[in-house]
Amino acid sequence: MPRIGTVRSRQPADVRVAGHGKQYPTRSGGAVVAMADVDLDVPAGEFVCVVGASGCGKSTLLRILAGFEDATSGTVEVAGAPVAGPDPERGVVFQDYGLFPWLSVRENIAYGPRQARLQRAAVAERTDRFLTAVGLTRFADKYPSELSGGMQQRVAIARVLANDPSLLLMDEPFGALDALTRSSLQGELSRIHRETGTTVLFVTHSIEEAVFLADRVVVMAGGASHGVPGHVKEIVRIDLGDERDVTSADFNALKRRIAALVHEEVAAPAA
């Protein structure tokens, strides 16, 4: 598949989370402490996956970095600036594709660059580049209803990347796909990351997916159901190179290590 052009208007962003906490008010006037004392530094250009049991705060952390929710305490910065709301520099891809059904594939991808008031030639170039990157050039004039789930998710990824984000936030983007489509998209995303250098924070329940994609895997623990706030339990570096073999001994050793950390938390009794 052709390589993506390397010209960028924005540089990849670093991420700094320090002493981050999140509380939700209760009807009785109290508060549920969902997360506390979360520290995480992500260098520019790194691919980080976040795993952990349900309710530990994975998606909450991502929404706060996206600017969709506010942190209750601590510091949350992207590219050295506090996160104070949504920003085009932070692209978000959810499990729900979120495509505009009345727009074609090409028009969906071009939407962001047009809203940014880029010149027509620049919009066309960027749209064509990411149509090629996700292998959908032949489907450019189709509508979302005419595409499979995997193809729709390709469009969603291309649409975000066409905005040239400095940080890409992904919340279980492949969770609803069948195994073969999911594996194919994992490979495409890994290649796109290598070619663009965009910083990625990727939330997943799949440990194999995390080991396949990430430079580091953040294992979160806790949450309301465990009686302690969500927090970072351990960060595991994945030193497997770019071409990863899911059947190799090293790959599966890392997979077992991370699974053990997650399962310790699942098996632990609530406080």
Residues in the chain: 271
Instruction: Kindly list the distances between the CA atom of residue 186 and the CA atoms of 66, 108, 157, in Å, as whole numbers in the listed order.
Output: 22, 22, 12
| Residue 227: φ, ψ to 5° | 80, 5
Residues in contact with 245: Cβ distance below 8 Å, sequence separation at least 6, in sequence order: 251
Handedness of CA 187, 193, 195, 196 (dihedral sign): positive
Q: State the Rg of the chain over Cα.
A: 19
Inside any domain, residue 228: yes
**Quick one: tokens of 258?**
């991370």
Residue type, 241: G
CA 266/CA 228 separation, integer angstroms: 13
pLDDT in tens, 150-162: 899 889 999 998 9
pLDDT confidence tier of residue 2, bands split at 50, 70 and 90: very low
Give the domain extent around 180.
Answer: 15-89+165-267
Residue 10 lies in a domain: no
Task: Specify the number of domains making up the chain.
Answer: 1
pLDDT score of 169 more than 50: yes
What CATH code is carried by the domain that includes residue 29?
A: 3.40.50.300
Half-sphere exposure in the Cβ direction for 207 (13 Å, CA): 18
For residues 94 and 266, the model is more confident at 94
Tens of pLDDT, residues 178-219: 888 889 889 989 988 998 899 999 999 999 999 999 999 999
| pLDDT tens-digit map of 223-246 | 867 788 999 999 999 999 988 999
Asked whether the CA dihedral 24, 27, 31, 32 is positive or negative, the reply is negative
Name the band, by pLDDT with cuts 50, 70 and 90, for residue 7: very low
As a whole number, mean pLDDT of residues 26-30 equals: 86
Residue 158 lies in a domain: no
Whether residue 112 is contained in a domain is answered as no
Residue at 193 is within a domain: yes
Instruction: Give 73-134 as a DSSP string.
Output: EEEEEETTEE--S--TTEEEEESS----TTS-HHHHHHHHHHHTT--HHHHHHHHHHHHHHT
In a domain, 100, yes or no: no
β partners of residue 17: 40, 76
150 in a structural domain: no
- Residue pair 42/199 in contact (Cβ under 8 Å)? The answer is yes
Q: What mean pLDDT is reported for the chain?
A: 90
Please report whether residue 83 resides in a domain.
Answer: yes
Residue 44's φ and ψ, nearest 5 degrees, are -55, 135
